[in-house]
Each structure stands twice: as C-alpha cells, then as structure tokens.
Chains A and B, each alone.
Chain A
Amino acid sequence: MQETVLQTKNLTKTYGGGTLALKEVSFALKKGEMVCVIGPSGAGKSTLLRCINRMIEADEGSSVVFDGKEITSLRKKELAQTRREIGMVFQHYNLVYRLSALENVLHGRMGYYSTFAGAFSLYKKEDIERAVELLGMLGLEERVYFRCANLSGGQKQRVGIARALIQDPKLILCDEPIASLDPQAAKVIMEYLKGISAEMGIPCLVNLHQVDVAKIYADRIIGMKDGHIVFDGPKEELTDKRIENIYGAKIHEILA
C-alpha cells in the first residue's frame, strides 16, 4: 500500500475534572485516503481531531506521528511549522467575517510569513495568484473580493476548504464540515473533499454525524464510542449491526 501519513498510538485525553474524552486511540492514515469518523455526539470525535494538530494537548504517553515527526514532543516553533502542513476545515467555517474570501484564504499561508508581513497583509504575489486560482477551482471566482459575512453557508465552507488547500497540506482534518449546511451544499462540500483525497492525494480525516454520507464518500470508516474506537475498516464492512453498536440505538432510530 501507499505510505502512512499519520499514525496515532495510545492517544488519550483527560479533561480537567477527570472526564475521559479519548482512551488509547490508535489508527493510521495513508496517502490519498478519505477516512470518516462517525459516532454519537460526545464520543470524542472533535477532541481526536484537535489532538492531532495539538489545538488540544493530549495526555502524557500519547503518540501522534505525522510525516515521520512525533508531534506531541514538538516545541512551540516547530509545532507552528508542522501546523502549516495540516489543513483544517471547521463546522462553523471559522472565517474572519469582516475580511474578504481572498484574505481568508491567504490566512492559510500565514505560517510562512514574518510577524510583520503577516500582520500587515503583505502577501507575496504568487500566493495571491494561487488563492484566486483555488477560489476559482472551487467555483467562487465571482466572490473573490466579497466579504465572508455576505456569503452563503456552502460558499463559506468552500472558502474554508480553499484556506486549507493553500497550505499545500499533507493532511486535512475536517471537523463536522457539513453539519451546518443544507443537503445540497453538503453534497457539494463532500464531493470537494472526496476530490481532494482522490485527485490531489491529500488524505482527509472527516468527522461526520451522518452515517449515510460517510458510507457514500469514505474509503474507510472509523466508529467511535465513549472515546474508544469500536470500528475501523472499509465502508463495506460497516453493517447495520455495527452501526447500532456504535450509536447504542436501533438503526431506524438513527437514520430517522
């Protein structure tokens, strides 16, 4: 098979107050793979994603190897440099709404600029050209200079994807990317994510609420329950029985 991009071992996270969010989570992600993480809310999906790029610090003894580097032991500066290579797409898009689509996409390059140049938006011409090109690829050519506040939900998420893509990432983490979108926009976003992994070869780790969507787009599905991985395999193997196990409810209740 292809090379492994990400490998977690014994990834554990305990929040203050003793809540165990993740317990010894181990899995690997290969180049060009689209993996969907499913599970009920509170299963630790979001924490898992954020522990990978250390937006949340995992407990001692956890191991996250990304691109041959042990992320959990990186120092501040090295961490920032590593984060440049991991794109992230969020449920609430996490855009700066008073800035334009283009400016938000350029935020993806921020880690490559000096503090001064980054703070005062002194972007390189080739970065701006690349950002405009990416927005064009995602069908936002007419919206390049628009304020993000004036975009629709689907368009906002496409800006979010462009921001991740301009990082030239080796991995893209998507935290519930379609949870706030209508079905039509959700389909478009999932198609884009599928395209990113299949055509560009960038592996995507996607948290999802909807099992049916995961079954359409994923190459592999990880099922989580109470901070554990309870299923990890190709989508064909995700039977109704196993879904019921993940969600702890009957299948007709889940899809209703």
Chain B
Amino acid sequence: MKFWHSRLVNRENAGRFFTDKQTKRVIFGLVFIMLTWMSAQLIGFELPLIFERFQPAMQRFVKLYFPPLFKESFKLIDAIWVTFLLAVASGTIGSFLAYFTALAMSRTTGKNKVLSILVRFVTTFIRNVPSSIWAIILLLAFWFGEFLAFLVMTLGSFGFTARIFADMIDETNPDSIEALESTGANFWQIVAQSIFPETLPITISWALYSIENNIRDATIVGILAGGGIGHLIGIYKNFRRFDELAAAVICIVVMVLLFDQVSMYIRKRIL
C-alpha cells in the first residue's frame, strides 16, 4: 500500500524500477550477505558438522556434566557470596565515580571545556576496552585475586555508567537549574539540590543494571582475574572436574535470575 502510494506521489520516480532508497537497500543487503559469507570462510565455519556430530557431542556433554556434583558446597556458597559482594561494591564505586565524571562531561553542567574533552577521552577508552582485556593487562601489575576482579569490574561499571549518566544529565530538565542560579546558588549547591534529586532514581536504576552486568561478567572475570565463582569455575575447568563445574554454573544462573527479579522489582518501585 505504502509502496504504491509513494509511487503515485513521486511522479519523477514512477517510471524507474528502483527508487534511490531501494537501490541503496539492495546494495546494503548484498554487501551484508557477502560479508557474512566471507566471515564464515575466514574462520572456517562448518555448519553441517554441528548436525552430523550432534548426537555423540550431546552424549559426551551429558556424560561429562551430569549429574551436577555439589561436592564443595561450602566453597560454592562462599564463592557466590564473594561474587555478589564484588559485583555490588564495584558497581557502587564505579557508578559513584561515574556520576562526578558525568557532571564534567554533560553539556548542562560541564562548564570547563578542556576538562570535559579530557574526561570524555578517558571514559571512551575505558569503556571500549573489554573487561577481559583489562583483566589481562592489569594481571601483570596486581596479581591474580579478588582485588583484581574488583578493579576490572569497577572499570567496567565506570565506563558503562559514565556515558549513560552524562546523557541522563543532558536530558534532565534544566529549568530548575536556572531558578537556582537566579537565587545566587553556586555550582555544587545546584548539583546537590536540583540535578541530584531529579536524577537519583534513574541513577540507582542504572547502577543496579551495571551490578547485574557485573554478576553476569563474574564468570569470565573470575576465570581471567580470579575471585568469586568465576575463579572456582576456572579451577574446575582446568582440572576437568566438569560435574562440579555444572554445579557452579547452576549457582550462578540462579543468582543471575534472582538478582534480575529483585532489581526489576526495585526499579518498578522507585521509578
């Protein structure tokens, strides 16, 4: 319908088979397909293999991982607890620092142009280097363990929330800032009395989200950097104790689902 309608309106294009937009779409689609095919060739992707060897693969998998073995349950519970603590602490500190960074970055509050650009550069770098790479780099200087995991997660939370908070402050209604300025309030008073109360619920909601991410990331960070359930999973993997690994995975899945529910509930209540 829409298609014919546009043809009728666009008399100039009526005779042509493709409108410009359509040509663009077709080219875009072809490039897309080619890129996909090239990617598959490059990494040697073999789809048939998956179906051919499906049955023996599943048998092997079930044999290795099932039934899950909760052998060191005390260790597991402790590791999950540490993961939770690390995720919350790094999410909190990361978001806290990010809030101040965002104040410098935002168009509404960042009056100092040099500082704003500098901060933008640093946060862009931190955000766009994946946490696994941070783990690899920092491992050399900080040694394997909970502190390194904490550091890596804090960097992740910081990079992620700094940008979101800056956007959030940009989108906050600047009217009340103007009013406070007109009464003679200074910068920090305006931040504390206007920007902070208006953005607090959204800030907390994003901080919760970054904690959620931290918990999801805990496995990989733990394998690479140590600390929490990920560390345990790394050990089980290296020593091929797959039935215990399955138990640890069940723990982390339960934790992720649980925390999702809790944070969803909190978000509903505070927003």
CB neighbors of A among B170-213 (8 A):
175-176, 178-186, 188-189, 191-194, 197-198, 200-201
Assess the A96–B194 pair: CB atoms within 8 A. yes
Q: Is A110's CB within 8 Å of the partner chain B?
A: yes
Assess the A96–B198 pair: CB atoms within 8 A. yes
Q: Is A195's CB within 8 Å of the partner chain B?
A: no
Instruction: Say whether, besides A99-B197, A118-B192, A90 and B179 are in contact (CB < 8 Å).
Output: yes
How many whole Å from B19's CB to the nearest CB in chain A? 37
With a cutoff of 8 Å between Cβ atoms, the chain A residues found around residue B191 in the complex are 119
With a cutoff of 8 Å between Cβ atoms, the chain A residues found around residue B198 in the complex are 96-98
User: Residue A55 contacts which of B181, B185, B186 (CB distance < 8 angstroms)?
Assistant: B181
User: Residue B179 contacts which of A109, A115, A119, A163 (CB distance < 8 angstroms)?
Assistant: A163
With a cutoff of 8 Å between Cβ atoms, the chain B residues found around residue A88 in the complex are 179, 182-183
Which residue of chain B has its CB nearest to the CB of A83?
A: B184
Give the number of A-B contacts (CB < 8 Å).
Answer: 83
Bitwise, A97-119 to B at CB < 8 A (1) or not (0) is 11100010001111101010011
Assess the A110–B189 pair: CB atoms within 8 A. yes
Q: CA of A103 to CA of B189 in the docked complex: distance in angstroms?
A: 13
With a cutoff of 8 Å between Cβ atoms, the chain B residues found around residue A55 in the complex are 178, 181-182
With a cutoff of 8 Å between Cβ atoms, the chain A residues found around residue B188 in the complex are 115, 118-119
Q: Is A14's CB within 8 Å of the partner chain B?
A: no
Bitwise, A77-102 to B at CB < 8 A (1) or not (0) is 00011111011101011111111000
With a cutoff of 8 Å between Cβ atoms, the chain B residues found around residue A118 in the complex are 185-186, 188-189, 192-193
Q: Is the interface of B mostly helix, strand, loop or mixed?
A: helix
Assess the A120–B178 pair: CB atoms within 8 A. no
Q: Is A167's CB within 8 Å of the partner chain B?
A: yes
With a cutoff of 8 Å between Cβ atoms, the chain A residues found around residue B185 in the complex are 80, 107, 110-111, 118
With a cutoff of 8 Å between Cβ atoms, the chain B residues found around residue A80 in the complex are 184-186
With a cutoff of 8 Å between Cβ atoms, the chain B residues found around residue A157 in the complex are none
Q: CA of A97 to CA of B179 in the docked complex: distance in angstroms?
A: 13
User: Residue B183 contacts which of A96, A98, A111, A120 (CB distance < 8 angstroms)?
Assistant: A111
Give chain B's interface residue range (CB within 8 Å of chain A): 20 to 34
Assess the B183–A107 pair: CB atoms within 8 A. yes
Bitwise, A46-63 to B at CB < 8 A (1) or not (0) is 000000010100000000
Q: Is A121's CB within 8 Å of the partner chain B?
A: yes
Q: CA of A108 to CA of B184 in the docked complex: distance in angstroms?
A: 8
Assess the B197–A98 pair: CB atoms within 8 A. yes
Q: CA of A110 to CA of B180 in the docked complex: distance in angstroms?
A: 8
With a cutoff of 8 Å between Cβ atoms, the chain B residues found around residue A98 in the complex are 197-198, 200-201
Assess the A94–B183 pair: CB atoms within 8 A. no
User: Residue A84 contacts which of B176, B183, B189 (CB distance < 8 angstroms)?
Assistant: B183
Instruction: Say whether, besides A96-B176, A115-B188, A119-B188, A110 and B197 are in contact (CB < 8 Å).
Output: no
CB neighbors of B among A116-151 (8 A):
118-121
Scoring A86, A87, A118 by chain B CB atoms within 10 A of each residue's CB, the highest score goes to A118
Q: CA of A118 to CA of B193 in the docked complex: distance in angstroms?
A: 8
Q: CA of A134 to CA of B223 in the docked complex: distance in angstroms?
A: 62
Assess the B176–A110 pair: CB atoms within 8 A. no
Assess the B192–A120 pair: CB atoms within 8 A. yes
Assess the B178–A110 pair: CB atoms within 8 A. no
Assess the B193–A110 pair: CB atoms within 8 A. yes
Scoring A119, A160, A163 by chain B CB atoms within 10 A of each residue's CB, the highest score goes to A119
Assess the A96–B192 pair: CB atoms within 8 A. no
Q: CA of A103 to CA of B178 in the docked complex: distance in angstroms?
A: 16
With a cutoff of 8 Å between Cβ atoms, the chain B residues found around residue A119 in the complex are 188-189, 191-193
**18 A-B contacts (beta carbon < 8 Å):** A55-B178, A55-B182, A83-B181, A83-B182, A83-B183, A90-B178, A94-B178, A94-B179, A95-B175, A95-B176, A96-B176, A107-B183, A107-B193, A108-B183, A110-B180, A113-B189, A115-B186, A120-B192
Interface residue ranges, A against B (CB under 8 Å): 53, 55, 80-84, 86-88, 90, 92-99, 103, 107-111, 113, 115, 118-121, 160, 163, 167
The 7 closest A-B pairs by CB, nearest first: A111-B184, A119-B192, A94-B179, A110-B185, A94-B175, A118-B189, A83-B184
